[in-house]
């Protein structure tokens, strides 16, 4: 207790001491720094992944197309590949905390153009996921209401519910991450327990009468891509590094744990579908009581799935807003996106922008998304694979540059980079073979985005190109008395120099 009191007193003295030099601040100081616990970060990651919905849809596709053990192996192999991607990401999260997540990490290894391409892929990916899950949340909520109350059909109730969900998500996201993540974690855990219990307790015929469009790719690679889409957001905890307590440790652990948890659940769902244990859950969600499931089971499944859809919508808004905020700080996008709420310390302009674009996407494209979900999901998956491939290659270059490569890190980063590049080539070739040219266009657009975006910024705002890759850094108020003094060098980087108490000749002059 005495040590704790002394440390607290030293911190107070450091923060209140008179200083004759300009204090140094982190470029991301607007965020509520050092507030989130490991539980908050895990809740954020799981809310973005929404593993309950992923389990049901993986079981659905396994039942619909019956790929057998080939599909099970594809799902298991994909989850292993995602874990390797997580390992590549942790090479950065162990060393720096950035609100831009993969976008900022890619800059550290591959430079500005690659970072802008990764940023394009992340914006496209997270907005696409948000539109997809948001468009599923609306009818799922209406179906749940119709089970216990009046039925609402038509464009007017749908539009009203869409706006209400958007306002609620925006309010919660502005209110703060901690306000939502723990409740989401409890709700998602209850949904998972329900789904697992029903799968284990029931065994029925694996046939299904639900009609779905043909997938945009062959069945086995389609299942692999669906798994990637279902796990999208496992890295979303990295967006909250500046806001996390002990970020270099807690963010790294969350990024590694999230794909393991979801991988086990997805492989279990695939096994349940193969053995007939998944048919009841699939039928209850897609067909209701017409599938033979009891009203209580249908209602419970609908509530659980609706909560997962809403949680995923919220998780995407929270993560996507941090990406827009980081780009606003760097002025890669309009600087208004960096405006912070004075009380809650959240990027409210970025939140409102992300939610507004997602809502417009749902209102305009929801019918098209439901009618041709394979192509839409394929575009989102292509963007995500591009981002993961770029961060894997950037981690290889980053570790090589700082001289911290080992044989295991080389094997991991190069294998993920090669696998990601090969998967992108396969997507383009297979998409062209099936006449799904939107996948080819999406891959080409992301590939060219870095060069085009860089050229535009060089013309209209060249100083922003020097600010890309902003990450959280130590501030003057973080130092204890006697530790030293933070000064900014000519490149804008903070450096710790000896305190004047240790040298009688005073502090070095701050470089302009």
Kindly report the CATH number assigned to the domain that includes residue 126.
1.20.1740.10
Nearest to 44 by CA among 238, 304, 323: 238
Q: Which of 119-128, 272-281, 480-489 has the lowest mean pLDDT?
A: 480-489
Whether residue 211 has pLDDT greater than 50: no
Whether residue 297 has pLDDT greater than 50: yes
| 504 shares its domain with 456 | no
Highest mean pLDDT among 1-10, 157-166, 192-201, 276-285: 157-166
Flag whether 11 is in a domain.
Answer: no
Q: What's residue 356's pLDDT?
A: 97
Whether residue 208 has pLDDT greater than 70: no
| 311 shares its domain with 390 | yes
Q: pTM of the prediction? A: 0.87
Whether residue 446 has pLDDT greater than 90: yes
What gap in Å lies between CA 422 and CA 187, rounded to an integer? Answer: 38
% of the chain residues with pLDDT over 90: 49
97, 248 contact by CB (below 8 A) = yes
What value does the mean pLDDT take over residues 258-285? Answer: 91
Q: What's residue 241's pLDDT?
A: 92
Whether residue 153 has pLDDT greater than 90: no
Q: What's residue 124's pLDDT?
A: 95
* Residues 358-409: tens digit of each pLDDT: 999 998 876 665 555 677 888 898 999 999 999 999 999 999 999 999 999 9
| 380 shares its domain with 433 | yes
Tell whether the torsion through CA atoms of 169, 102, 430 and 218 is positive or negative: negative
What gap in Å lies between CA 272 and CA 269, rounded to an integer? Answer: 5
**Encoded tokens for 414:** 């190069």
Q: What's residue 505's pLDDT?
A: 45
* Residues 401-436: tens digit of each pLDDT: 999 999 999 999 999 999 999 989 988 888 888 788
- Helix (H) or strand (E) run with residue 17 in it: none
Q: What's residue 507's pLDDT?
A: 42
| 174 shares its domain with 250 | yes
Count, residues in the chain: 512
| 388 shares its domain with 504 | no
Predicted confidence band at 448 (pLDDT cuts at 50, 70, 90)? very high
| 507 shares its domain with 452 | no
Flag whether 496 is in a domain.
Answer: yes
Number of domains in the chain: 2
What gap in Å lies between CA 23 and CA 12, rounded to an integer? Answer: 16
Contacts (Cβ under 8 Å, ≥6 apart) of 352: 170, 174
Flag whether 406 is in a domain.
Answer: yes
Contacts (Cβ under 8 Å, ≥6 apart) of 90: 252, 255, 256
Flag whether 5 is in a domain.
Answer: no
What gap in Å lies between CA 141 and CA 132, rounded to an integer? Answer: 15
Flag whether 20 is in a domain.
Answer: no
Whether residue 95 has pLDDT greater than 50: yes
Q: Can you give the residue range of the structural domain that contains 139?
A: 35-466
1 vs 63, which has greater pLDDT?
63
**Encoded tokens for 437:** 């040219």
Flag whether 498 is in a domain.
Answer: yes
Q: What's residue 34's pLDDT?
A: 82
**Encoded tokens for 205:** 């015929």
Residue 358 CB coordination number (10 Å): 27
| 367 shares its domain with 491 | no
CA dist list (Å): 182 to 18, 179, 187, 500:
40, 7, 9, 45
Whether residue 160 has pLDDT greater than 70: yes
- Whole-number average pLDDT of the chain: 85
Q: What's residue 53's pLDDT?
A: 92
Flag whether 501 is in a domain.
Answer: yes
Nearest to 135 by CA among 393, 385, 364, 349: 364
| 219 shares its domain with 295 | yes
Alpha carbon 190 to chain centroid, angstroms: 22
What value does the mean pLDDT take over residues 328-341? Answer: 94
71 vs 180, which has greater pLDDT?
71
Crossing angle of the two packed helices 219-231 and 51-65, in degrees rounded to 10? 170
Flag whether 342 is in a domain.
Answer: yes
**Encoded tokens for 37:** 């616990």
Whether residue 213 has pLDDT greater than 70: no
| 494 shares its domain with 460 | no
CA dist list (Å): 128 to 99, 233, 379:
20, 12, 8
| 394 shares its domain with 509 | no
* Residues 344-360: tens digit of each pLDDT: 889 999 999 999 999 99
* Residues 39-51: tens digit of each pLDDT: 999 999 988 998 9
| 106 shares its domain with 251 | yes
DSSP 380-436: HHHHHHHHHHHHHHHHHHHHHHHT---HHHHHHHHHHHHHHHHHHHHHHHHHHHTT-
Q: What's residue 347's pLDDT?
A: 95
Q: What's residue 511's pLDDT?
A: 39
Predicted confidence band at 256 (pLDDT cuts at 50, 70, 90)? very high
| 312 shares its domain with 233 | yes
């Amino acid at each position: 207790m005495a040590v704790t009191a002394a440390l607290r007193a030293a911190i107070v003295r450091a923060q209140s001491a008179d200083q004759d030099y300009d204090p140094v601040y982190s470029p991301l100081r607007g965020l509520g720094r050092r507030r989130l616990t490991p539980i908050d970060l895990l809740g954020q990651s799981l809310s973005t992944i929404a593993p309950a919905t992923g389990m049901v849809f993986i079981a659905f596709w396994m039942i619909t197309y019956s790929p057998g053990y080939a599909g099970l192996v594809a799902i298991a192999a994909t989850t292993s590949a995602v874990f390797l991607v997580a390992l590549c990401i942790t090479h950065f999260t162990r060393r720096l905390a950035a609100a831009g997540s993969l976008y900022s990490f890619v800059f550290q290894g591959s430079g500005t153009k690659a970072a802008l391409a990764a940023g394009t892929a992340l914006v496209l990916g997270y907005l696409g996921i948000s539109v997809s899950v948001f468009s599923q949340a609306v009818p799922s909520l209406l179906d749940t209401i119709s089970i216990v109350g009046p039925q609402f059909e038509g464009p007017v109730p749908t539009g009203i519910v869409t706006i209400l969900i958007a306002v609620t998500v925006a309010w919660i996201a502005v209110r703060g991450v901690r306000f939502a993540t723990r409740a989401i974690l409890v709700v998602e855990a209850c949904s998972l327990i329900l789904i697992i219990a029903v799968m284990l307790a029931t065994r029925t015929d694996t046939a299904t009468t639900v009609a779905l469009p043909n997938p945009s790719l062959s069945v086995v690679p389609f299942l692999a891509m669906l798994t990637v889409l279902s796990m999208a957001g496992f890295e979303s905890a990295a967006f909250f590094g500046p806001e996390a307590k002990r970020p270099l440790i807690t963010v790294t652990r969350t990024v590694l744990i999230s794909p393991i948890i979801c991988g086990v659940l997805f492989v279990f769902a695939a096994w349940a579908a193969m053995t007939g244990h998944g048919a009841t859950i699939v039928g209850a969600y897609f067909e209701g009581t017409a599938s033979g499931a009891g009203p209580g089971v249908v209602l419970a499944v609908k509530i659980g799935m609706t909560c997962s859809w809403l949680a995923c919508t919220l998780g995407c808004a929270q993560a996507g807003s941090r990406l827009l905020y980081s780009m606003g700080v760097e002025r890669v996008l309009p600087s208004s996106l960096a405006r912070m709420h004075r009380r809650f310390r959240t990027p409210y302009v970025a939140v409102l922008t992300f939610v507004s674009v997602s809502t417009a996407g749902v209102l305009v494209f929801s019918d098209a998304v439901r009618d041709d979900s394979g192509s839409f999901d394929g575009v989102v998956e292509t963007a995500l694979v591009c981002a993961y491939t770029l961060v894997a290659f950037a981690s290889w270059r980053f570790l090589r540059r700082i001289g911290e490569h080992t044989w295991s890190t080389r094997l991991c980063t190069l294998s993920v980079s090669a696998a990601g590049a090969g998967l992108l080539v396969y997507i383009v070739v297979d998409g062209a073979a099936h006449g799904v040219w939107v996948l080819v266009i999406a891959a080409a657009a992301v590939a060219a985005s870095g060069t085009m975006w860089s050229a535009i910024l060089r013309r209209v705002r060249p100083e922003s190109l020097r600010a890309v890759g902003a990450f959280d850094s130590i501030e003057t108020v973080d130092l204890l008395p006697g530790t030293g003094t933070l000064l900014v060098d000519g490149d804008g980087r903070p450096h710790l120099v000896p305190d004047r108490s240790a040298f009688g000749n005073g502090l070095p002059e701050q470089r302009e």
